[in-house]
Amino acid sequence: MRSTIRAAPLQDRRPWAVLAVILAAAVLDLLDATITNLAAPVIAADLGGGEALIQWLGAGYALALGILLVPAGRLGDKYGRRRLFLIGVGGFTIASVACGLAGDPGTLIAARIVQGTFGALMIPQGFGILGAVFPRDQLGKAFSVFAPALGASSVGGPVLAGFLIQADVLGLGWRAMFLINIVLGGAAFLAAARLLPADRPSPTETEVQVDGIGAGLLGLAMAGLLYGLIDGSAHGWGLLAYLCLAGGVVFAGLFWVRQRTAANPLIEPSLLRNRGFTAGLVLGVVFFAAVSGLLYVMSLLMQYGLRFTPMQAALGLAPLAMGIVIASVACHRLIAKLGRDLILIGLLTTLAGTGLLLFVATNDPHGVWALVPPALIIGLGMGACFGTVFDVTLGDVDPRQAGSASGSLTAIQQLANAVGAAAVTTVYFHASDGGGTAAATRSLPAVIAADPAGPATRSLLVVIAAILACCALVRLLPRKAQPRHSS
């Protein structure tokens, strides 16, 4: 539901300036969500923490963000989107400072979780604000800028991280990646305070209820799965790791039951009875988990396996970002014509790029240029899917449920990112260890450098299998996306 906006006339609210503020916050979130993909090895070398820190840096952030996105959207309905947005941006900036000043792995991981928490408060409010300040016939035009901007940001984070680490700004090293948010986040906060229209929820919106039990069960499920994967990878597959995985599965089942019985579920039960939506939900989980893990593996391969510097690794990922932008812009115009076939094209392109990367990795690549073709092809495939998977998934959803469905899909994407990165890197580290215990007692870079292709090969095969599974689900999706409003 939409908050009642009580502000000046539309022309005085400068809707495109409001769009710039919302987009800046979304880009800031994605940059910080992904910077550790590249920076994790450097941070682990500085603070210690080994494999567990490498995996938790991204997973902790995505875990908090994914669990809280839907409840935070409801809180915005209840207490006002502008207020929640400002709290989110302010808290995100402070948490970024805490990340930059962290002196040990535990403090950094905790600060990353807090970052994700405030990111969850910030992100869902923006779309509601845009829906209130833009005329309906201009919404499509306004939202069309998000796909290329966010697609590029998802890989732009690691690229930015590489440049900042290499530049060693003020001798800060990797810490500059987080401390730069003092400027970026501060500017976003001041602009939001000045430009965002005041909103006052209507009486019906103040009665909105948040399913805290459902959110808690989902949190326990995801935390159990992540802790089991990461602990098993870092410290060996003992009883604790298996108990955590089993607990995660149990809590996931309880969450599923809760969604069918709760008065205000996080995911509407009627959506889960929609075959097209459910197929898109599963496809989205598998795809985003696979590509999230793929980005981590590419970074680990370049830095641990091929001994690239952070700058070289950033350059290796730059073609991927370029491909995402190109495909996102092109596919915005093609989705109405091609529908779900566009997703299949994107999946097959991603599959081809991953296969080429596998070939390059197993044939002793020399220099960053060998990785440019597979990175570009993977980026084109990812860009074709990023903006279309959810649009097509919503094709058969009742327009009255589109907002709830979209919020659920976005949250699921973040959780998939967390689990995917943890699962695929677990395969990577397990392969690098030869199936033994993890690297607390060994030099991880040295072990991987001795056989750079081995861990990457196993991980890329897992990614390929996941993308093939996605291809099999495409025929279950709605044929077309819902029509977009355009100017």
CB 456 within 8 A of CB 259: no
Residue 92 has pLDDT above 90, yes or no: yes
Whole-angstrom Cα distance, residue 455 to residue 95?
34
- pTM of the entire structure? 0.83
Fold held by 271-481: Growth Hormone; Chain: A; (1.20.1250)
Q: What is the pLDDT of residue 208?
A: 62
Q: What is the pLDDT of residues 435-467, one digit of tens each?
A: 444 444 345 555 555 555 667 888 999 999 999
How far is it, in rounded angstroms, from Cα 144 to Cα 128? 16
Residue, of 406 and 341, whose pLDDT is higher: 341
Token digits of residue 272: 């889960």
309 backbone φψ class: left, alpha, beta (φ>0; ψ -120 to 50): beta
Give Cα separations from 403 to 81, 200, 266, 267, 376 (angstroms): 15, 20, 12, 11, 33
- 12 — pLDDT class (breaks 50, 70, 90): very low
* Residue that is written with structure tokens 């919020």 in the block: 407
**Coil/strand/helix, residue 14:** coil
What is the tens place of the pLDDT at every residue in 204-229?
Answer: 555 667 788 888 998 899 999 998 98
CA distance 41 to 26: 26
DSSP label of 302: I
pLDDT over 80 at 180, yes or no? yes
- pLDDT at position 370 over 90: no
CA distance 328 to 382: 9
- Measure Cα distances from 160 to 31, 49, 55, 56 in Å: 8, 23, 20, 20
The single residue listed with the structure tokens 């607990």 is: 247
Domain residue limits, the chain: 10-203, 211-263, 271-481
| More confident site: 158 or 204 | 158
Is residue 351 over pLDDT 90?
yes
- Asked whether 128 and 81 are in contact (CB, 8 A), the reply is yes
SS (H, E, C) 197-249: CCEECCCCHHHCCCCHHHHHHHHHHHHHHHHHHHHHHHHCCCHHHHHHHHHHH
Kindly give the residue spans of alpha helices, DSSP state H, lying in 262-401. 269-272, 275-300, 310-338, 340-361, 372-386, 389-393
Question: What value does the mean pLDDT take over residues 336-359?
Answer: 93
Give pLDDT, residue 470. Answer: 95
The larger pLDDT score, comparing residue 92 to residue 9, is at: 92
pLDDT of residue 97: 96
Read off the pLDDT of residues 228-269 as tens digits, 9 standing for 90 and up: 988 887 777 889 989 999 999 999 999 988 888 887 787 777
Q: How far is the C-alpha of 415 from the C-alpha of 396, rounded, in Å? A: 24
Pairwise CA distance, residues 95 & 89, whole Å = 10
Query: Quick one: which of 383, 378, 396 has its CA closest to 343?
Result: 383
Contact status, residue 305 vs residue 455, Cβ threshold 8 Å: yes
Q: Which residue has the higher pLDDT, 156 or 114?
A: 114
Owner of token pair 């689990």: 419
For residue 109 the two structure tokens come to 């991981």
**What is the pLDDT, as a whole number, of residue 8?**
40
Lowest mean pLDDT among 75-89, 121-135, 289-303, 465-479: 121-135
Q: What is the pLDDT of residue 5?
A: 42
Q: Which CATH architecture has domain 10-203?
A: Up-down Bundle (1.20)
Q: Which pLDDT belongs to residue 373?
A: 93
pLDDT at residue number 86: 95
Q: Is the pLDDT of residue 414 over 90?
A: no
Asked if residue 28 has pLDDT above 70, the reply is yes
Residue 425 has pLDDT above 50, yes or no: yes
Answer whether 10-203 and 271-481 agree in fold: yes
| The pLDDT of residue 4 | 44
Most confident of 71-85, 136-150, 339-353: 339-353
Average pLDDT over residues 200-207: 60
Report whether 435 contacts 233 (CB < 8 A): no
Average pLDDT estimate for 75-103 = 92
CB 325 within 8 A of CB 152: yes
- The model's confidence at residue 382, banded by pLDDT at 50, 70 and 90, is very high
Q: What is the mean pLDDT of the chain?
A: 83
Q: Confirm if 72 and 120 have CB atoms less than 8 A apart.
A: yes
Whose tokens are 């090969």? That residue is 457
DSSP 439: G
pLDDT computed for residue 110 by the predictor: 96
**What angle separates helix 310-338 from helix 275-300, to the nearest 10 degrees?**
160
